[in-house]
């Protein structure tokens, strides 16, 4: 089995995955074909997607605490439900046949960086 522990110190998840793809040891050993997905399909608290219709997943990596992640993910779910229902998130409803949309601010996540744990 290929071991990568020594190469992982100080790296972010995407860097680790990129190294694994480049080295191909683990990927080939598992018989996988791996590629990076277009960021169009992801939104997150570090950077909101502007194309809500394309978003397939939302991550909360930029939050400091689980409590903040859950609170803001609940806001995201509420936003998503409003979007899917055709209701505008801003100011209550569609105007002139168009919909305006913006994600709610990730207040709990932002505030989590100002609290001591």
pLDDT value of position 61:
82
Contact 72, 106 (CB under 8 A): yes
Higher pLDDT pick, 47 / 14: 47
Would you list the domain boundaries of the chain? 1-36, 39-112
- Locate all alpha helices (DSSP H) within 42-102, ordered by sequence: 66-85
Using one digit for the tens of pLDDT, what is the confidence trace for 90-111?
544 444 445 678 888 999 999 9
> Residue 40 — pLDDT band, cuts 50, 70, 90?
confident
The SS3 assignment for 115 reads coil
Structure tokens at 104: 């709610």
Mean pLDDT (the chain) is 78
């Amino acid at each position: 089995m290929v071991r990568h522990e020594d190469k992982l110190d100080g790296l972010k998840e995407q860097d680790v995955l990129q190294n694994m793809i480049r080295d191909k040891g683990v990927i080939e050993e598992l018989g996988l074909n791996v590629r990076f997905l277009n960021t169009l399909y992801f939104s997150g608290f570090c950077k909101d997607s502007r194309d809500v219709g394309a978003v397939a997943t939302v991550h909360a990596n930029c939050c400091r605490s689980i409590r903040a992640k859950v609170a803001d993910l609940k806001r995201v779910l509420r936003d998503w439900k409003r979007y899917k229902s055709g209701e505008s998130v801003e100011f209550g409803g569609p105007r002139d046949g168009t919909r305006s949309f913006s994600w709610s601010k990730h207040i709990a996540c932002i505030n989590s960086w100002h609290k001591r744990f």
